């Protein structure tokens, strides 16, 4: 009788441990998954009813943003991001006039399972929104910077070395802006 | 008894191994105050800043501070810190946040471990409250509550911090400029 109880207890504990182990493995798998960059772009498109311009379209149109992004991808204008690591989506001359708090909630819900929100700033009652998320990617870090103003928006995902991530943490707002600018502003170089 | 121990040894070991990080994390969160009750102010504010920097990120950041001058002081200051969390709101008009909003933060700082420090003032207008979480002689964390008619800021530092050098953190790692001034006087309880 006593042995039976002990065996049952041991079985229960084993089941509990297995469940914990499964939960642990599932968490790791969730963290490893997914292209959240595209999810964020889609979320912006759906929420605001806008459409992003791809880099080839922008380059064809001779817009500075496209050519610069292309050059960064080739590594010529690279300063902060690692070579070939930039993902960029640009929304230009469109209306981002919906109430932002719902968007903020949706964005955080979509990303916080796998990304850490580093800094979020909202200015002008939602007229300017900046969100910076990060996550580990091997020995580097993925950083996702989302900026939205009344007419334009940018989503940039870059790989950062630990040193550049440290710069981002030291001055999150300044370095976040620098990442977006590096990806979108023409460099006379 | 021996059989019981032998039967449970492995499952217990696994359970302890899996639960240890959870328990350690829970312990480190003691001085972390909950600020999500303020989220609704975002829609009323003209400017909102929300910063979350955990221990791992602080360790990384400390590498870029130099070993000279002010940067050395900041580096030393953040050496043992486990997290920096900020929520800051600026409003266009008076009366956009309520006493209940302030109370949602203050009520967490009334616990027996928290002590309000009276020797801090702000160069800016408004009210500045600095609270310290003490575990015996050890400082376990800090909270700053800065309010005026059109501003509401909460800064929460988790882990040991040198309060006398608190102002050095202003403008660094997402901590806003609060005009913190430290006066070397006796500290009083609430």
Please give the average per-residue pLDDT across B4-24, as a whole number.
Answer: 57
The residue in chain A having the minimum alpha-carbon distance to the alpha carbon of residue B173 is A170
CA A27 to chain centre: 19
At A173, is the pLDDT very low, low, confident or very high (cuts 50, 70, 90)? Answer: confident
Tell me the residue range of the domain where B124 lies.
35-53+83-169
pLDDT of the residue at A63? 39
At A39, is the pLDDT very low, low, confident or very high (cuts 50, 70, 90)? Answer: very high
The residue in chain A having the minimum alpha-carbon distance to the alpha carbon of residue B175 is A171
Who contacts B146 (Cβ-Cβ below 8 Å, separation ≥6)?
B122, B124, B126, B127, B128, B129, B152, B153, B154, B155, B178
Answer yes or no: is B66 within a domain. no
Q: Which bin fits B69, alpha (ψ -120 to 50), beta or left (φ > 0)? A: left
In a 13 Å sphere around the CA of B19, the CA atoms on its Cβ side amount to: 11
Total tally of structural domains belonging to chain B: 1
Answer yes or no: is B185 within a domain. no
Answer yes or no: is B116 within a domain. yes
| Average pLDDT of chain B, as a whole number | 82
Whether pLDDT at B182 is above 80: no
Answer yes or no: is B58 within a domain. no
Distance CA A121, CA A137 (A): 25
pLDDT of the residue at B15? 59
Whether pLDDT at A31 is above 50: no
Whether pLDDT at A34 is above 60: no
Answer yes or no: is B89 within a domain. yes
At A75, is the pLDDT very low, low, confident or very high (cuts 50, 70, 90)? Answer: very low
- Contact flag B4-A24 (C-beta cutoff 8 Å): no
Asked if residue A119 lies in contact with residue B50, where contact means CB atoms within 8 angstroms, the answer is yes
pLDDT of the residue at A50? 95
Q: Could you tell me whether strands A140-148 and A128-137 are parallel, antiparallel, or unpaired per DSSP bridges?
A: antiparallel
For residue A125, which residues of chain B lie inside 8 Å, CB to CB? 43-46, 92
At B50, is the pLDDT very low, low, confident or very high (cuts 50, 70, 90)? Answer: very high
Whether pLDDT at A188 is above 90: no
Whether pLDDT at B9 is above 80: no
Please give the average per-residue pLDDT across A25-44, as a whole number.
Answer: 68
Distance from CA of B118 to the nearest CA of A (A): 29
At B58, is the pLDDT very low, low, confident or very high (cuts 50, 70, 90)? Answer: confident
Which of the pair, A41 or A55, is modelled with greater confidence?
Answer: A41
Whether pLDDT at A176 is above 60: yes
Whether pLDDT at A68 is above 50: no
Q: What are the pLDDT digits (tens) for B123-159?
A: 777 888 999 998 888 889 999 999 999 999 999 999 9
Answer yes or no: is B95 within a domain. yes
Answer yes or no: is B128 within a domain. yes
Whether pLDDT at B71 is above 90: no
- Contact flag B173-A169 (C-beta cutoff 8 Å): yes
Distance CA A140, CA A138 (A): 5
Who contacts B75 (Cβ-Cβ below 8 Å, separation ≥6)?
B62, B65, B66, B67
Please give the average per-residue pLDDT across B167-174, as a whole number.
Answer: 84
Please give the average per-residue pLDDT across B103-130, as a whole number.
Answer: 87
Distance from CA of B180 to the nearest CA of A (A): 19
Answer yes or no: is B174 within a domain. no
- Contact flag B50-A121 (C-beta cutoff 8 Å): yes
For residue B15, which residues of chain A lie inside 8 Å, CB to CB? 13, 16-17, 20
- Partner residue facing A125 (CB), from B46, B64, B174: B46
């Amino acid at each position: 009788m006593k042995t039976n109880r002990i065996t049952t207890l041991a079985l229960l504990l084993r089941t509990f441990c297995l469940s914990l182990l499964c939960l642990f493995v599932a968490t790791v798998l969730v963290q490893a998954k997914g292209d959240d960059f595209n999810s964020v772009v889609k979320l912006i498109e759906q929420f605001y009813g806008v459409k992003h311009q791809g880099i080839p379209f922008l380059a064809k149109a001779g817009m500075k943003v496209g050519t610069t992004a292309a050059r960064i991808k080739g590594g010529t204008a690279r300063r902060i991001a690692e070579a070939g690591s930039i993902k960029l989506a640009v929304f230009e001359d469109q209306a981002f006039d919906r109430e932002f708090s719902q968007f903020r909630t949706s964005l955080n819900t979509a990303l916080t399972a796998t990304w850490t929100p580093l800094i979020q700033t909202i200015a002008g009652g939602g007229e300017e929104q900046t969100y910076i998320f990060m996550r580990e990617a091997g020995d580097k870090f993925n950083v996702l910077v989302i900026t939205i103003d009344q007419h334009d928006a940018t989503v940039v995902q870059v790989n950062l070395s630990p040193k550049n991530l440290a710069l981002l943490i030291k001055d999150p707002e300044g370095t976040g802006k620098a990442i977006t600018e590096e990806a979108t502003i023409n460099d006379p170089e | 008894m021996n059989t019981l121990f032998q039967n449970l040894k492995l499952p217990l070991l696994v359970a302890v191994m899996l639960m240890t990080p959870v328990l350690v994390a829970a312990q480190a969160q003691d001085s972390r105050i909950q600020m999500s009750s303020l989220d609704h102010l975002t829609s009323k504010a003209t400017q909102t800043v929300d910063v979350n920097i955990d221990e791992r990120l602080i360790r990384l950041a400390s590498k870029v501070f130099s070993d000279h001058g002010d940067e050395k002081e900041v580096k030393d200051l953040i050496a043992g810190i486990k997290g920096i969390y900020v929520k800051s709101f600026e409003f266009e008009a008076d009366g956009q946040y309520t006493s209940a909003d302030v109370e949602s933060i203050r009520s967490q700082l009334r616990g027996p471990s928290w002590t309000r420090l009276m020797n801090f003032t702000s160069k800016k207008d408004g009210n500045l409250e600095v609270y310290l979480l003490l575990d015996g002689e050890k400082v376990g964390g800090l909270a700053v509550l800065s309010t005026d008619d059109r501003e509401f800021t909460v800064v929460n530092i988790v882990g040991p911090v040198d309060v006398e050098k608190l102002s050095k953190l202003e403008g660094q790692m997402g901590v806003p400029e609060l005009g913190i001034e430290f006066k070397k006087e006796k500290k009083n309880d609430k």
